[in-house]
Amino acid sequence: MIFENVSDLIGGTPILGLPLPSYNSMLLLKMEKNNPGGSMKDRMARSMVEAALQSGRLKPGGVVVESSSGNTGIGLAIAAIDRGLRFIAVVDHHAAPDKIAVMRALGAEIRYVQGEYAENEVAVVERQRLAAELAEQIPGALFMNQSDNPANPAGYAGFVREALAQTQGRLDAFVGCVGTGGSMAGIARGLKQHRAEITTIGVEPCGSIVFGQAGHPYYQSGTGTPKGDTVGLVVDYASIDLGVQVSDAQAFETARYLARRKGILVGGSSGGAIYKALELIHSGRLRGQVLTPVADGGEKYLHTVYNEDWLRERELLDPRIAANLSRWLS
């Protein structure tokens, strides 16, 4: 098929299977990094813009404003181009520089929040405050507020349809990251509507507060809810069977391991979800066909997650993690 808009390329991402014969299981990686903006957030960005235009909250030629660590911003930049809109991304120092560069290349206007923050501290509260303020000040602007926007989880209906078709409906578990909670809510609800017995696991960084643990700074980007922020309204705890945490070292070493051993460049948060999926399979808590999205690609983290000096300076290197992965994937 020949498409006319970049947004039409969203979806249809392939699945790569990693056989785990020792556990009578298969880890299925849905390669969401193959979306045009390089992440699964393209799906929800398109959904939010379309819903806002259809409802009249956003007018033709209007301005989209959103707080983003990068991937949602890239998706919104693409959606804005296709629909003749202006896009302003509100970011902080925690966003990967390569993501900000991509947004700028796509014509997005970048606004940094002000204030003193630690390197591993996410300034999401200030980002959201500034985004809401800009939307009030700029004529024709709308703050998308992805954390509370019902069009966020609605954007993943296509993911569910594709995954069920690709696996002929034979799925036993889903393991995904929880940031705003939109992807987890939309996918988990959709899969359980197909078959209620599918186990759904939500993964957040150690230091995130989504599942009630004590908050502290973390380096994983675009996932979790940091201390001081409020868990978004789109998080659907009823659709999540188990919430778990993954350390920065586990997430990043898994990403590096998959690059060296499997030739797959995945983002840090995807590394965390994959690590927990393998750990749960190893422990016997999960069996069968386990689906995990590669939410974005490692190409955006070459100077951090894939930089050994950067990891060493932050004491994020742990050879025991690679040893676990070798044992589980052998």
Give the span between the Cα atoms of 135 and 132, in whole angstroms. 5
Q: Which of 41, 99, 192, 300 is catalytic?
A: 41
- Kindly report the backbone phi and psi dihedral angles of residue 216, in degrees, each rounded to the nearest multiple of 5, phi listed first: -160, 165
Give the span between the Cα atoms of 50 and 320, in whole angstroms. 46
Give the span between the Cα atoms of 41 and 295, in whole angstroms. 8
- Kindly report the backbone phi and psi dihedral angles of residue 61, in degrees, each rounded to the nearest multiple of 5, phi listed first: 80, 5
Q: How many residues does the chain have?
A: 330
Give the span between the Cα atoms of 41 and 1, in whole angstroms. 23
41 is catalytic: yes
- Three-state secondary structure call for residue 86: strand
Widest distance between CA atoms in the chain? 60
Q: CB under 8 Å to 323, separation ≥6 — which residues? A: none
> In this structure, are residues 180 and 232 in contact, taking their beta carbons and an 8 Å threshold?
yes
Burial of 196 (0-12, 13-18, 19+ CB in 10 A): exposed
What's the angle, vertex CA 270, arms to CA 92 and CA 278, rounded to 5? 145
**Both tokens assigned to 318:** 């742990």
Residues with active-site annotation: 41
